[in-house]
Amino acid sequence: MRSAMMRKPVRIFLLIVPFVAICILYILTRKPDCWFCRPLPFKKPFRVDDVLGSGNTVFFLETSDRQQLSPMVSCAVESASRIYTDRPVVLLMEGLANLTLDDINTSHKPFSPLYSLGNVFLLPLNMDALLQDTPLYSWYREFEPSNEKQHLTVISDALRLALIWKYGGIYMDTDLISIRPIRAENFLAAEAPRYSSNAVFSFGRHNTFIWDCMNNFPDHFNASIWVNPGPILFTMRLKELCTLPLFEEVADSKCQKIAFLHPNRFFPFSFSSWRKYYEVWETYPDFSDSYALYLWKHLNNEGRSVVPGSKTLVEHLYKTYCPSTYEFLIENTLRV
């Protein structure tokens, strides 16, 4: 009798142990819901070449030496990650150039909003290695910028060409908020009628158009004035291939094998209207013709920012398309 009574608690214990073990395993492996939780290491083991060379990677560049992400950069990466769930989303950062992947994994705090996103990879940017074996390398070795702002802008224009040439995929600037998948391959984006941007573009690996652009890049950079050589170069190369459209209707164009996307796809607000993103709207636009929204960061010299509770359009975009960044913004009272 006593033996039977003793076996009953043992059976209960044996039933409880697996349940507790499953609960513990779930807690340890689930994606964190808050940034006060201690995250697991950033990624499971991976080969950098596999991530970079998938052929469909979405790339971002941070050419300054900062090691912390601004909310705007975080939002750009997060929104792309949520739209392109089947693709690697890679942010290459010059500020991580002297760190190993283990260092990046253990120094997780600056990147907290991105830790719940399984397809995001933060990697060191080695400019010298990226530009090697391209027509840009000899120019890069001799390039002497007159100021830091010019240096970062021009080098960024060069690096994005080498990046897409070597690996293929989509390049995006860090002030683009993705809102729906791009339905085009091998494309350039019109910023205005008959004028191309280089803020977002996509080509396959070793595309001849990108190679020609790298060959011509040094000729389109005038060190005496501060200008982005990238957009001018894209526009001139396109004009050599075909007549660029006026875009009288919201329809994309085709230039040989290159899709030339309507300005509304990424620039529904022109450069003169960039402040509309920071205004309060009674009814938010749905941007039904757009794939992503360019926020014109380089024009924002007024310090306009995302302010939680302001009901501005940009706050609405953060809440909708990069909610983790928005929550992190609230908790840390950060401003873009």
pLDDT, tens only, 236-272:
999 999 999 999 999 999 999 999 999 999 999 999 9
Inform me whether the pLDDT recorded for 24 exceeds 60: no
- Range among 55-64, 116-125, 135-144, 170-179 rated most confident: 170-179
**Inside any domain, residue 10:** no
Residue 263 is predicted with a pLDDT of: 98
In a domain, 314, yes or no: no
The pLDDT, as a whole number, for residue 223 is: 55
Identify the CATH number of the domain in which residue 136 sits. Answer: 3.90.550.20
Q: Which domain holds residue 109?
A: 48-268
In a domain, 287, yes or no: no
Report the range of poorest mean pLDDT among 53-62, 148-157, 232-241, 247-256: 148-157
Q: Per-residue pLDDT tens for 74-111?
A: 999 999 999 999 999 999 999 887 766 666 555 545 55
Q: Is residue 291 part of a domain?
A: no
pLDDT of residue 34: 29
* Mean pLDDT (the chain, rounded): 83
pLDDT (tens digit per residue) in 274-307: 999 999 999 999 999 999 999 999 999 998 989 9
Residue 62 clears pLDDT 80, i.e. is over it: yes
**107-136 confidence digits (pLDDT tens):** 545 557 887 788 999 999 999 999 999 999
17 in any annotated domain? no
pTM above 0.85, yes or no: no
274: in domain: no
- The mean per-residue pLDDT over the stretch 50-56 comes to 84
Question: Each residue of 183-202: pLDDT tens digit?
Answer: 999 999 999 999 999 999 99
Q: What is the 3-state secondary structure (H, E, C) of the chain?
A: CHHHHHHHHHHHHHHHHHHHHHHHHHHHHCCCCCCCCCCCCCCCCCCHHHHHCCCCCEEEEECCCCCCCCHHHHHHHHHHHHHCCCCCEEEEEHHHCCCCHHHHHHCCHHHHHHCCCCCEEEEECCHHHHHCCCCCHHHHHHCCCCCHHHHHHHHHHHHHHHHHHHHCEEEECCCEEECCCCCCCCEEEEEECCEEEEEEEEECCCCHHHHHHHHHHHHHCCCCCCCCHHHHHHHHHHHHHCCCCCCCCCCCEEECCEEEECHHHCCCCCHHHHHHHHCECCCCCCCCCCCEEECCHHHCCCCCCCCCCCCEHHHHHHHHHCHHHHHHHHHHCCCC
pLDDT tier at 153, thresholds 50, 70, 90: confident
- Contact status, residue 60 vs residue 174, Cβ threshold 8 Å: yes
Q: What is the predicted pLDDT for the residue at 116?
A: 79
* Residue 312 lies inside a defined structural domain of this protein: no
> Above pLDDT 90, what percent of the chain?
63
- Per-residue confidence at 227, pLDDT binned at 50, 70, 90? low
How many structural domains does the chain have? 1
Q: How confident is the model at residue 40 (pLDDT cuts 50, 70, 90)?
A: very low
> Is residue 245 assigned to a domain?
yes
